[in-house]
Structure 1
Amino acid sequence: MNGGLRPGDPGRIGGYDVLDRLGEGGMGSVFLARSPQGRPVAVKVVRPELSHDAEFRGRFRSEVNRARQVPPFCTAEVLDADPDHDPPYLVVEYVEGPSLAQVMRERGPLGPAQLHSIAVGVATALTAIHGAGVIHRDLKPANVLVAPGGIKVIDFGIARAFDATSQHTRTNQMVGTVSYMAPERIDVASGQPVGPAADIFAWGAVVAHAATGRNPFGADSPTATAMRILTQPPELTGLGGPLRELVSRALEKDPAARPTARQLLDGLLTAAVPRGDTRAVRPLGTTPDALPGAGGNAQGRRSNPSRPATAGRTGSNRRAWLTGLGGAAAVVAVLVSAALFGPQLLRDLANPDATGATATGGPTTPGSAPAATGSSTATGSPSAGADSTRAVLAGQRRILLHLVEIDRDLALPFDAEVHIGNGTGPDALFVLEPVGVDYMIKSLNPDVSHRPCLGVKINSAYASLVGTDCAPTAATLFGLARQDRKDDKGRTTYAIVSDEHGLVQWSPSRKKIYVEFLGDAPISTTFSLVDRGAV
């Protein structure tokens, strides 16, 4: 948890303005900072006694270069590093969301569905990390984040540089936490190399701990814990089913007997999902009720309580539950595949219709469109309706964003705050600007020419929809998820979805438009695209 800057903490590191202290660990201290572009980042500053160690700097540089190769969907992305700075530092993406350790402190052991999600998420991350030639070496609940984009594993690889050069470690002060260390890390005299199998052992200990609330080798002291790891079988009482077998294999004393990360993932995807618990198809953190009361994150800041940890960067999760893919095992497989290979894979699998559009409603190529008909300019012929919709989605037509449930329209007046109106003025006219398979939504109101695109703004209470500059970012890109129902004029309806922040929704009580993930709740706010002529 963050505790504010201390006397002696730096005010600036490299080109980064230090804002707060997030924590400290074996390698050094972690600070919340602001990049020159104004982006919040986490800066990890190496301990002073290592600053003049040439061997450390060389290893640090090598590990940073390898860490950059890890796909950012599963970890805090490495943004910058300066091994030659005094002291050396590493800059990574600032990730919102509590750690698994925090979740367990507040909630205790996880249920079967959430446990399966954690197991899948961490195994997916290890598959990517090991595929980049990196070994984590310090996998533990504190380094597993339940983040807005799903499960993220942080603080990997760099520990190797410190571990290999530090002369200041004892048995209970090694880089890593003894409770999650593989036997080959503890018994260095055995001559067994420390490789990816050590991370697999840690995965087994993390999953067992998440299931039971205790470490499978827990004892009264680090030394006793280390001895149990070396000599005793794991205590797995309370963990059952196929997951128990996978965890047991991961906790084998012999590294060669453990599965690889890919084998773990394959085993998890074919394991039975807990009967009757459909939450198992989503990674932990993809529904608002997944983390009641979990109020922080592993990088030290409190998460915005109005932003439930849910699908983010890849967009795979939100598309899965919007398109209603059936079959728990199939959904898990698609979610992981999308995380590993990108959102286009899931778009291609998500039930394309006859026109080539995906079930999310976005065109697969510029100028293509869903087979939705019924735009307000349609003549009644299917081809006319399809042509009109195609033109709307290609950005060639002015539109009203008609909020179906209350028969009103979005408006962006001069103050750049989104309102609900009657659709009669210039502040209600918009145009879709395709960006890949998503869209920027641009107002045609001349009074807001300086901030004409709709975007998500995070407030203290909730995420709102406002006018902002037109640049394709996570805050300004939206997908259109076509719905089965029509509006009262027979027009196709859509949910407007931000991969990063959730669905655009209407609050009857607050009389406000806001943005939030729904979790298991049905979609209650839909829009039709009312054609108002050529741009």
Structure 2
Amino acid sequence: MRSPLRPGDPQSLGGYQLLARLGEGGMGTVFLGRRDDGSAVAIKMIKPEYAWDEEFRGRFRSEVRRARQVPPFCTAAVLDADPDHPTPYLVVEYVDGPSLEEVVTHEGPLADSRLHGVAVGVATALTAIHGAGVIHRDLKPQNVLFALGTPKVIDFGIARAIEVTSRHTAPDHMVGTVAYMAPERFDDAHRDITPAADVFAWGAVIAYAGTGRTPFRADSPVATAARILTQPPDLTGLSGPLAELVAVALAKDPDDRPTAPELLNLLLAQNTGASGIGRPLREAAEAAQLSGRHVSGGGRRPVAPVRRRTRTLVAATAAAALVLGGAGLYGRYSRDAPVESAPPAQAVMPVPGSVRGPWVVDALVRPGQWRASTDAYGASCSFRDGLAMTTPSFATTCPGPAQTFAGDQSIAARVAVGDARSCAEIQFRSAGEASYWLDLCPRTVRLRHEGALRNTTIGAAEQALFTPGQNRDVLLSLRDEVATVAVDGQVVLEKKLTDPSLLAGKVAFGVGPADEAKDQDVRASAHISRAEIRPIGDQPSAPTTLAFTDVRTGSTKSIVKVHGYYPKAKSVVVEPVLFMTGDEYCQTFNLKASPENPCEQAWLTEDSRMTVTLPTSANPTLTSTFDDPGRCAEDPVTVGTCAITPTQLSERLGNNGLVEATITNGTITAMADVYVP
């Protein structure tokens, strides 16, 4: 966005006339300039504190030389630079268009071909940049501009001149925006950043473009960094193959991410049909594929092609290669590691910061994280001492949690089939047109993969384990892409998952006819209760003496986050949190006061990421601050004291509202909303 020159700004720089300000960042100020021929350019004038550093000038000169070798495929070309000027400057092509951040802010998240075009454009730019031996280091939505509808990446390569200069590389200093930084960038021992960090930033940028939020969003830069290091991305709102590519790009280990050319190949393979990208962008992408001379991945792994699922036969046979090695997205698997043999009787409450992904607990005896439903064909999901599912002659699933589950995880439930011709089903890693299924039938336990092109059986155990009407405790464990199925504590099936692109997705429960009854007019039924979906293999990253309040049993009063309150069903979905002052938070987590951390805030919460469905009493006591906290709030905790109806409280809380809950023997008997000034 243009703004007038300020008093003290130069009128010209190195023979270029300066017309207006375009922006200001960590390295310097960007001006709109004019060349002698009248054409517009963008000129970045480096901050004075760097101008007096001879080491910086040398680095700047070297990085400019490399940046000028980057071919102009979806990049703003580097036109000129003067590292020896009293205030060093860089001249680049002027892109007369809004940034990706401005587009999303004013128009909302991108979708369909427009989102795919941005993904292709930025991947094209990274392919060109990495091919010239340059690393961007500061890829973010502000650095993606739109020119005639085609995205162009700016500000590449030069950040290294600051980041590697000795006097600017204190352990707590780095160039970039935290929300888009790869995990290795927070590791002082891992200072040799590779192009894989840019691929991670690509994943975060595309997630932002498609959802309007960053995938590791938190209340502070410190909390954001912690989520980048320990938790999977929140990709809710993205779907299909693009969501899968984003998930792989956001892998914690740089070796598990694709290179920029691999990423571009896969995006182009996905993009077929009338809704595809425009011709200029496709030509630039195809030219970039041929331009590179340098490896652009983590730099430590061999390159070996892995077939990926895509939407068309063309994509299925594309020459694109994506390397996942033998590694899962969030950790390694040891074949000697013990296999969990039975569902836990009750989940252990985590310590703060220890959970990498969503953790769902629901007895399924009432609506909460699963909902009742009936479709036009007669399939139904209802609650009768658990989730009762019926369907006429075809498989169906019941609506469940909206969270996306990734990495090492377990899915536990108590399962019963209704008769000899019925199968209970667990759908997992469901994303777009693909998912995995665990079929639990009277004579068979089977793992299968359902894709856009074909369905395959991964493995089956022919055992008569599910006698109709009899409950069995089922545990499905996913470790390093190996699925292990245990029934009543005994492992009955263990198979490697077959789709390397399907690393995350939703979980659902369902019912369908057994194989021998699929061509018959039968009504299949199954019953599931005591559901728990959680990450496995987490290590505490906070004081082990500090844990969240266990709201499932006993009697307590605790502040919780409410994800849904259903007065008619007498149920509420809550997430235990720690609610503390800024000073208490920083003392607890050993943070020193600074503008980047939350010590100065009045109140803060630390989320457990564990959602639990609890019953409420018949007539719980409900109070609120309404819109008059001076009259209806109790100091100093600011808990509401004025009576409110269940419907009003449900509407007021929405999703993620805070309440002080009074719990008696696992039942909520009172809720007071919490006012946070």
Tell me the TM-score normalized by structure 2. Answer: 0.41
Query: Aligned equivalents of 1:3 and 1:173: distance in 2?
Result: 30
For 2:237, the aligned partner's letter is: G
Is 1:74 matched up with 2:23? no
- What are the residue-to-residue correspondences of 1:37-436 with 2, within 5 Å? 37-148=37-148, 150-165=150-165, 167=167, 174-189=174-189, 191=190, 193-271=192-270, 278-282=274-278, 316-317=279-280, 336-337=285-286
Distance 1:74 1:281, change over 3 A: closer
Alpha-carbon distance change, 340 to 36 in structure 1, aligned in 2, over 3 angstroms: farther
- Aligned AA (2:93): E
Q: Note the C-alpha offset of 1:337.
A: 1.9
Secondary structure at the aligned position of 1:336 is classed as helix
Superposed CA offset, 1:21-60 (max 9, x none): 1111110001111112222111110100111101100000
| Aligned-partner Cα distance in 1 for 2:248–2:55 | 36
Residue deviations 1:289-322 (CA, integer Å, cap 9, x gap): xxxxxxxxxxxxxxxxxxxxxxxxxxx53xxxxx
CA contact (8 A) 2:109 2:211 kept: yes
Separation in structure 2 between the aligned mates of residue 115 and residue 41 of structure 1, nearest angstrom = 28
Aligned to 1:45, what secondary structure does the other structure show?
strand
Give the 3-state SS of the residue equivalent to 1:188 in structure 2.
coil
Percent of counterpart pairs with the same letter? 65
Alignment length, in residue pairs?
A: 291
Higher-helix-fraction structure: 1
Higher strand share: 2
- Aligned partners of 1:254, 1:123: CA distance in 2, in Å? 19
Does 2:21 correspond to 1:21?
Answer: yes
Helix, strand or coil at the partner of 1:21: strand
- Are the aligned partners of 2:73 and 2:128 in contact in 1 as well (CA < 8 Å)? no
One-letter identity of the residue aligned with 1:207: I
Residues in 2 aligned to 1:41 and 1:192: alpha-carbon distance in whole angstroms: 34
Shift of 1:162: 1.3
User: Aligned partners of 1:67, 1:55: CA distance in 2, in Å?
Assistant: 18
Taking the aligned partners of 1:59 and 1:67, their CA distance within structure 2 comes to 12
SS at match of 2:2: coil
Give 1:40's aligned amino acid.
Answer: A
Letter paired with 1:108: G
Contact 2:73 2:285 in 1 (8 A): no
Q: Which whole-Å CA distance do the structure 2 matches of 1:153 and 1:168 have between them?
A: 25
Distance, in Å, in 2 between the alignment partners of 1:334 and 1:154 is 20
CA distance in 2, matches of 1:168, 1:175: 10
> CA 1:104–1:60 in structure 2 vs 1: closer, same or farther (change >3 Å)?
same
Q: Distance in 2 between matches of 1:113 and 1:132?
A: 29
Q: Is the 8 A contact 2:73 2:284 kept in 1?
A: no
Change (3 A) 1:339 1:66: closer
Partner of 1:508: none
| CA drift at 1:267 | 1.1
- The amino acid that maps onto 1:85 is H
SS at match of 1:73: coil
**Higher Cα radius of gyration:** 2
1:93-149 deviation per Cα after TM superposition (whole angstroms, max 9, x unaligned): 111111111110111111121111111111111111100000000111111111127
Q: Which amino acid aligns with 2:64?
A: V
Query: Does the CA contact (< 8 Å) of 1:114 and 1:280 recur in 2?
Result: no
* 1:341 CA displacement: 6.5
**Distance in 1 separating the partners of 2:263 and 2:157:** 20
Sort the Cα spacing of 1:269 and 1:187 in 2 relative to 1 into closer, same or farther, 3 A: same
**1:76–1:152: 8 Å Cα contact kept in structure 2?**
yes
CA–CA distance in structure 2, aligned partners of residues 89 and 211 of structure 1: 34
Q: Which residue of 2 aligns with 1:458?
A: none
Match of 2:619 in 1: none
Q: 1:103 to 1:15 in 2, by over 3 A?
A: same
Whether the aligned pair in 1 keeps the contact of 2:171 and 2:188 (CA below 8 Å) is no
Deviation at 1:257, TM superposition (A): 0.8
Deviation string for 1:255-309 (max 9, x for gaps)?
1110000110111122265x8xx44333xxxxxxxxxxxxxxxxxxxxxxxxxxx
Q: Secondary structure, in 3 states, of the residue corresponding to 2:65?
A: helix
CA distance in 1 between counterparts of 2:241 and 2:228 reads 23
1:122 and 1:44 map into 2 onto residues whose CA distance is 21
Mapped to 2, the partners of 1:195 and 1:31 lie a distance apart of 30
Native 8 Å contact 1:4 1:20 kept in 2: yes
Letter in 2 for 1:147: A
Q: CA deviation at 1:2?
A: 2.1
Deviation per residue, 1:145-171 (Å, 9 max, x gap): 111272211000001101222756889
Letter in 1 for 2:199: I
Tell me the distance in 1 between the aligned counterparts of 2:234 and 2:117. 22
Separation of aligned partners in 1, 2:73 and 2:264 = 16
In 2, distance between residues paired with 1:32 and 1:24? 12
**CA shift for structure 1 position 334:** 5.3
Segments of structure 2 that go 5 or more residues without pairing to the other structure are 292-677
In the alignment, residue 182 of structure 2 is paired with which amino acid? A
Q: Contact 2:137/2:157 (CA < 8 Å) preserved in 1?
A: yes
Is the CA contact 1:114–1:279 (under 8 Å) kept in the aligned structure 2? no
Deviations 1:411-467 (A, max 9, x none): xxxxxxxxxxxxxxxxxxxxxxxxxxxxxxxxxxxxxxxxxxxxxxxxxxxxxxxxx
1:445-491 Cα shifts (integer Å, max 9, x gaps): xxxxxxxxxxxxxxxxxxxxxxxxxxxxxxxxxxxxxxxxxxxxxxx
**Partner letter of residue 280 of structure 1?**
G
Find the residue that maps to 1:74 and give its secondary structure.
coil
CA distance in 1, matches of 2:70, 2:250: 25
Listed as ranges, the gaps of 5+ residues in structure 1 are 283-315, 318-331, 343-535
Give the conservation status (yes or no) of the 8 Å contact 2:21–2:31.
yes
In structure 2, distance between residues paired with 1:47 and 1:177: 18
Give the whole-Å Cα distance in 1 for the aligned partners of 2:209 and 2:171. 25
Give the 5 Å matches for 1:498-517. none
Q: Tell me the amino acid that sits aligned with residue 281 of structure 1.
A: I
Aligned to 2:317: none
Distance 1:262 1:126 in 2: 8
* Whole-angstrom distance in 1 between the partners of 2:154 and 2:246: 21
- Distance in structure 2 (CA, Å) of the matches to 1:254 and 1:83: 36
**How far apart, CA to CA, are the structure 1 residues paired with 2:235 and 2:197?**
19
Normalising by structure 1, we get a TM-score of: 0.52
Contact conserved, 1:119 with 1:207, CA < 8 A, in 2? Answer: yes
Asked if the contact 1:242–1:272 (Cα under 8 Å) also holds between the matched residues in 2, the reply is no
SS at match of 1:281: coil
